[in-house]
Amino acid sequence: MSWTYEIALHGAPDMHAAMLDWVASGSFWGFTALPGLASFDLYTAAQGPARDPFNHDGAGPPLLLLDFASRDTLDAAIRQGHLAAAVALLPRGLAATGAALERRFYPVGDDTAPAPLDAPFSYVVRYRRPADDEAAFNRNYLATHPATQAKLPGIRAIMCYLPLDDLQTVGVQCRAHGLAGADYLIGNEVVFDDIAAFNGAMASPVRQELRAHFHEFPRLTGAITHYPMTRRRLVG
């Protein structure tokens, strides 16, 4: 388990290039100085034909995932304005959403211990409110999806993301800097060595099983996004 703050960047079509230029310039130093920061990952749209037979959402927005040493240090980063100060350093012309999240790691294959986040290709999925029964949706998702995803051929890591709603409500400083709430219900991330391994997993019978599980969940009317992404660790 870890405590994560996600910042998703949205903007003009040249956003990816501007974001990479911003990283290359070293301007992300304000994030690296956040008290209690354990790791800092940059996610950008994967290059190549990722093939999910059921979803085609295109290129996802760049994501900054800031992992903190504890829930308390994440809480302090929000309440004391450290995140707001870092957000103010983002390039002009970018809109952003933010979410405080509990990140849970799960085993893969026949392992019993949760797998670490090492491989560079991630399929990043986010479910947004509302749902007919949010608690039941999350219970069903956590009870069925990670255990089934563990059987996907070539999978390297599985994570679920649960919103920390009490921390979202105190993020006034971040919202003052243009960081709107993401309004997530739950998130998921499955990790592979590369796009070819992901495509092989999506062509397996396990993907069909996952789809069947989804249709058994309580009705969700919020948006769902599925983005193939490449992760680069900047800190940690």
Tell me, what's the pLDDT at 177?
A: 52
The Cβ of residue 67 has, within 10 Å, a number of other Cβ atoms equal to 21
Q: With cut-offs at 50, 70 and 90, classify the pLDDT of residue 9.
A: confident
Which residues make Cβ contacts (< 8 Å) with residue 217, sequence separation at least 6? 136, 137, 140, 141
Tokens for 45? 């749209």
- Domain locations in the chain? 2-235
Greater confidence (166 vs 57) lies with 57
Looking at domain 2-235, which of 3.40.50.620, 3.30.70.100, 3.40.50.2020, 3.40.640.10 is its CATH number? 3.30.70.100
* Average of per-residue pLDDT across 61-82: 90
pLDDT confidence of residue 181: 83
Per-residue model confidence (pLDDT) at position 154: 98
Q: What is the mean pLDDT of the chain?
A: 89
State the pLDDT at residue 28. 72
pLDDT for the residue numbered 179:
72
Which residue in 234, 146, 220 sits closest to 190, CA to CA? 146
pLDDT for 147 equals 97
What is the C-alpha to C-alpha distance for residues 234 and 81, in angstroms, rounded to an integer? 22
pLDDT > 70? residue 77: yes
What's the pLDDT at 84?
78
Q: Give me the percent of the chain exceeding a pLDDT of 70.
A: 92
